[in-house]
Amino acid sequence: MSNNDQSAAMTPRSRRDFLLSAGVFAAGAMMAPSEGSHAIADDRNEATKPSPQPPPKAQGVVQPISAGTVAQAERLAGVEFTDAERQMIAQSIGEQLEILAKRQRHPLPPNGLGPAQVFDPRLVRASERLPANHRGTIERSEDDPGPLPKDDDDVAFAPVTKLARWIERRQLSSAQLTEIYLDRLKRFDGPLKCVITLCEARARKRAARADAEIAAGLYRGPLHGIPWGAKDLLDTAGIRTTWGAEPFVDRVPDSDAAVVKKLDEAGAILVAKLSLGALAYNDMWFGGRTNNPWNLEQGSSGSSAGSAAATAAGMVGFSIGTETYGSIVSPCMRCGTTGLRPTFGRVSRAGAMALCWSLDKIGPICRAVEDCALVLAAINGYDGNDPSSIDMPLHLSARSGLIGLRLGYSPQWFAGKDANDLDRAALEALRRTGVKLVEIDWPDWPYDVLINGLLCEAAAAFEGLTRTNRDDELSWQDAEAWPNTFRKSWFIPGIEYVQADRFRRQCMHMMDEQFKRLHAMIGPSFAGSLCLVSNNTGHPSLTIRSGFKDDGTPHGITLIGRLFDEGTLCRIGTALERELNVWERRPKL
């Protein structure tokens, strides 16, 4: 979808001429002193050190903001809201002011440390191809899948590694498998609300072609003939792509997203467009709330809500999700699926809805770690249609051991409120795999400052909805929902956005220092701001099921890998998966 599509059918609200204003925060925010002329070396060691200048001094306590203040600030920013919207902004903006104050109390980065975003003047970037023998190596496991089960449910819940072997050996046809999944999608979508559009005709046609190719000896690889589901923010030619949001419910693109094209080339069979929280947030969309297959009274979390729910419920062989800040990690935690968030830039986002151009990532959601590796191998690769695309080889091996690998963790992560006994048990299980666990020192920095970049980009991505009041069409209208979040993000000062971006670069250097002696990290998925930080630094993550809570719902834990080293991440994840031995348990639908 082009940048103009979201506003093409909307009449601009002329009164909302965009002008960011710092003045709105004068009543309560604190001001930082100007920087001095002290010269600082711009290297990796210096980058993690605070500026030598003294930290800013507090200029008073953050005061509550009234609806009247918001109304006055609108004149400075060139926007206009309703009385009800002003009341909601005033009630919820206090947390935003506290985050700004935290950043202002933190020592400024060295002067030589620029923003994380690097300007590239090339409008169309040419591929910087590596030699053919450096494209990467993919080694599948050699495990025998055993005989094809007689029960369709057993087939439906099998991992891709087994499904692929059965199809390759022609013990199972793609047409048979496609019908199994189409049937389950129809039967279980009612309670789960995870399907937006069923792609029956397309799926049957592609499955028949896959079977014909395999019969003729043309086997494309381990995804050939495997049905999958797409998060409904990936464009599909002639099939509506709604972004889960009311303003776009009738949107039908005329071309496929890059990931859809790559999976078509791999021979995979698209069977459904799956639900997402509207505009990639939460699990609520225009059709209702997507539910957790393990507990229908509970949402599946988001925003890759349908992708995780459908995969956990055996309704697809695998699915594709996206993540900006936890949208693969969180639903995989809730639904007990395995989610691989690749390094930023490894997978093309061309044809995918943009929420945050500098943060969005596309990755697989599967039932097992090796499945994720096989899917990533299919969707990996440079694409000139995505300005952030990076040409890097992918090395994946399911046959390598863990001897010599060093895994970092912070004891504080496993002792705090964001950890439980299942997390600590997973750490001990990992110790038994042969990796060397290394305690790390995680800086006590105001990481939530990084949210400012996400908010500014997201508000910019959907400026058209705010300007035209079409944000009112979204079902979720609470204070923490997108409509109000977009509105209040107009009042983040430009200076704060730039300082958050510089702090982001500081975090990148910090993570680089950590990974100079580590192959990966492990932690409770949301402890220590690890999810927020690693999303902003672009590092890959792998979330796997670690066990079950007292209420019978699954729990997960997350590994963070080095940049472009998903292979090592998957090796560690596979070993931990085998040691925990909990992934085969199924929800009772």
Give the Cβ contact number of residue 56 at 10 Å. Answer: 17
Dihedrals phi, psi of 410, to nearest 5 degrees: -105, 125
Which one of 307, 327, 330, 389 is the catalytic residue? 327
**536, 522, 531, 502: which is closest to 568 by C-alpha?**
522
Which one of 303, 304, 348, 541 is the catalytic residue? 303
25 CB-contact burial (10 Å; exposed 0-12 / middle 13-18 / buried 19+): buried
Secondary structure of residue 8 in the 3-state scheme: helix
Which distant-in-sequence residues (6+ apart) come within 8 Å of 241 by Cβ?
1, 232, 233, 234, 235, 248, 251, 252, 253, 273, 353
Give the Cβ contact number of residue 480 at 10 Å. Answer: 11
Answer whether 237's CB lies under 8 Å from 256's CB. yes
327 is catalytic: yes
Q: Are strands 554-561 and 520-523 parallel, antiparallel or unpaired?
A: antiparallel
Answer whether 338's CB lies under 8 Å from 367's CB. yes
Give the Cβ contact number of residue 130 at 10 Å. Answer: 13
231 is catalytic: yes
Answer whether 399's CB lies under 8 Å from 142's CB. yes
Answer whether 562's CB lies under 8 Å from 513's CB. no
Which one of 173, 174, 193, 231 is the catalytic residue? 231
**387, 518, 496: which is closest to 446 by C-alpha?**
496
For the chain, the distance separating the N- and C-terminal CA atoms, rounded to the nearest angstrom, is 36
Measured CA to CA, the distance from residue 334 to residue 302 in angstroms comes to: 9
Measured CA to CA, the distance from residue 266 to residue 571 in angstroms comes to: 23
Q: What is the 3-state secondary structure (H, E, C) of 474-527?
A: CCCCCCCCHHHHHHHHCCCCHHHHHHHHHHHHHHHHHHHHHHCCCCEEEECCCH
Amino acid at 199: C
Residue positions annotated with a catalytic role: 231, 303, 327
